A and B are shown apart, each in its own frame.
Chain A
Amino acid sequence: MTDPVIRVVGLGKSYETAAGLFPALKGVDLEIRPGEFIAIMGPSGSGKSTFMNLLGCLDTPSSGDYFLAGQNVAHMDKDALAILRNRTLGFVFQGFNLLPRMSLQDNVALPLVYSGVDKETRRAAAREMLDKVGLGKYADSLPNRISGGQQQRVAIARALVNKPQLILADEPTGNLDSHTSEEIMALFGELNREGITVVLVTHEPDIAAHAKRQVRFLDGHIVSDHLTEAVPE
């Protein structure tokens, strides 16, 4: 059995609020193995966003341990987390989050800039990823020249460019119509078949149905964790 890419043990996170300490996450245990396609679900306030921020190394837990690719990141400093985000993770956001002034190619190449890769390599890698998501011919366009679905594809290309261990997608279809959503989910499915680990956060059951495994959060706990049943149709 392969080592898990993510192992979370007793992970907790509390926030200071006016009413006192609010526990958003109350001791979560979870393992994610390489090649998995997992959907994290739950209503707002269930703690799934907090969990996602912790998985994405954007935040540090109040308690518990988080092993990413074998390293415990629970007590790393901000710069170490930044390097980890850069090398090990790929982010896909609900709002696409491309930089508006940059060409698509430069947007895709941006993570490589922070890992100190030279310009030629950056360009070639970005081009390759754009081709992979089928947008190579728009390499020099600005993000506002293409549709939302296409922008999300570019964002996926950006997430892939550093050859990360896993991709974290936070409501990636939240701003897209259902047809485009299907296309994006199909792309994730395809990437997963190539062996890329995908962690997806969504509150839509039909989007979650694309994942192989579904984890449901409620009130800061995992309330269910099961494989997706075969799609009935």
Chain B
Amino acid sequence: MMLRAMLGEAWLAMGANRLRSALTMLGMVIGVGAVVIMMAIGQGAQYAVQQTISTMGSNLFIVLSGSFTAAGVRSGSAGGPTLNVADAEAIAELDGVVNVAPTHQGRRQLVYGSQNWSANVIGTTPPYLEARAWTIASGAAFGDSDVRSATRVALIGKTTAQNLFGDENPVGKTMRIQQNPFIVIGVLGSKGQNLDGNDQDDTVIIPLTTAQRKVFGTPFLGSVRMIMVQADSAENMERVMDATTSLLRQRHRLREGVPDDFFMRNLSAAAESEAETTRTMSILLGAIASISLLVGGIGIMNIMLVSVTERTREIGIRMAIGARQRDILTQFLLEAIMISFAGCLLGLFLGLAIALGINAFTGMVIVISGTAALVAFAVAATVGIFFGWYPARKAARLDPIEALRYQ
């Protein structure tokens, strides 16, 4: 039997019982729609987290100087002068370390002309920019020579630039931090929020030495509060952190049993676990949505079984006038696929519309990928074939004499 004629008949059969076909289809519409929405939201969440992580820089950990106690008051981490630039230089020599940047940061008031603004000031060395994946939007970064000679140059973030300079181009302008004039030599590329929701663009980066001498002051020259370390790969993180610990204990001459005089934090681990959480959530959402797709498929099977029973006589007639088993099989399978396909198409549009609506009204990040749509479509076709198969085979295996006798 010819496929075109069969499609026409399947269409006719669908049209013969419109409400029933529509309700059966609705199951698929909801199923596919749910899958599309959930995938859009899940992938959107993953995308958002990936974005944030990529702005933070990968495979990072920080070493903070230990606390010190003065008159019974403990300073908390990064309070004591236990780390110095030489420690950072030694860590840089370790295997698997890509970038090491001693840093010193704090909020300071900035002044330019009649404007002033408080921003996070980071004193560091050039590897910091690389470790944190900072780009330079305009102007240029400072180099090692600036650190050596403690020049008063600054890189500023986008938010800081807007608040302090307005529409002016900050590059080449002189601003003041703590009464000290700094020349803005570059504007940093935008990063947006970090995982904690802080604006990473509200930042000023200056050479470490300048920061220590002119901005923050330091009890001992060369001591640093924090050292940022970037490992070459996620697999090497653990090993590099262990090596750093033993290196620092040795350098600080700490005997067995004496606690570390520094703290270490794995920045990437937090980000990784965040990414893992969203991935799990995304899979969970997809799985739940798939259940509704399954229910839709069962709905198709149910209706097709009813349809086969109702049309037993018709099947008998068709067989008597020459329909082979496979003609009957194809006919019923085609009907199931048609319902499933039409439902899928509607579900796809409905899902996209709702996903876009969610994006428009809540601002939630959604990602609509062609793959997701394709997967939903393939699944629907499979569902149609899978759940249509049994009823269609039941129809094809009817005995023509019995079927003709059926009232």
Which one, A37-45, A112-120, A132-140, A145-153, is touching chain B? A112-120
- B148 an interface residue at 8 Å Cβ cutoff? no
Select which of B314, B322, B404 is within 8 A of A115 by beta carbon: B322
Asked if B12 and A102 sit within 8 Å, CB to CB, the answer is yes
Instruction: Kindly report which residue of chain A lies nearest to residue B5, judged by CB atoms.
Output: A113
Known: A93-B404, A114-B327, A116-B1. A87 touches B322 (CB 8 A): yes
Asked if A82 and B16 sit within 8 Å, CB to CB, the answer is no
- A82 to B325 CA separation, bound complex (whole angstroms): 8
Select which of A82, A83, A99, A115 is within 8 A of B317 by beta carbon: A99
Asked if A83 and B16 sit within 8 Å, CB to CB, the answer is no
Main secondary structure of the interface of B (DSSP, over half): helix
- B318 an interface residue at 8 Å Cβ cutoff? yes
Shortest beta-carbon distance, B314 to chain A, in Å?
Answer: 6
- B320 an interface residue at 8 Å Cβ cutoff? yes
Among B16, B319, B322, find the residue whose CB has the most chain A CB atoms closer than 10 A: B322
- Which residues of chain B are near A110, meaning CB under 8 Å? 318, 321
0/1 string, A157-190, CB within 8 A of B gives 1: 0100010000000000000000000000000000
Instruction: Report the count of interface residues on B (CB-CB < 8 A).
Output: 24
- Which residues of chain A are near B16, meaning CB under 8 Å? 101
Interface range for A: 20 to 34
Asked if A119 and B12 sit within 8 Å, CB to CB, the answer is no
Which one, A23-31, A53-61, A218-226, is touching chain B? A53-61
0/1 string, B1-26, CB within 8 A of A gives 1: 11011000000110010000000000
Select which of A79, A91, A111 is within 8 A of B324 by beta carbon: A79
- A2 to B248 CA separation, bound complex (whole angstroms): 112
- B251 an interface residue at 8 Å Cβ cutoff? no
Asked if A58 and B13 sit within 8 Å, CB to CB, the answer is no
- A107 to B13 CA separation, bound complex (whole angstroms): 14
- A93 to B319 CA separation, bound complex (whole angstroms): 13
Instruction: Kindly report which residue of chain B lies nearest to residue A59, judged by CB atoms.
Output: B401
Asked if A82 and B13 sit within 8 Å, CB to CB, the answer is no
- A162 to B1 CA separation, bound complex (whole angstroms): 15
- Which residues of chain B are near A82, meaning CB under 8 Å? 319, 322-325, 327
- A203 an interface residue at 8 Å Cβ cutoff? no
- B400 an interface residue at 8 Å Cβ cutoff? yes
With A58-B320, A82-B319, A111-B322 known, 12 other A-B pairs at CB within 8 A are: A53-B401, A59-B401, A85-B322, A86-B323, A97-B404, A110-B321, A113-B1, A113-B5, A114-B1, A114-B327, A115-B322, A116-B2
27 contacts between A and B (CB under 8 A): A58-B320, A58-B404, A78-B325, A79-B324, A79-B326, A82-B319, A82-B322, A83-B324, A85-B320, A85-B321, A87-B322, A93-B317, A93-B320, A93-B404, A99-B317, A101-B13, A110-B318, A110-B321, A111-B321, A113-B5, A114-B1, A114-B322, A114-B323, A114-B327, A115-B322, A116-B1, A116-B2
User: Which 4 pairs of residues, A with B, have the shortest CB-CB distance?
Assistant: A86-B322, A82-B324, A114-B322, A111-B321
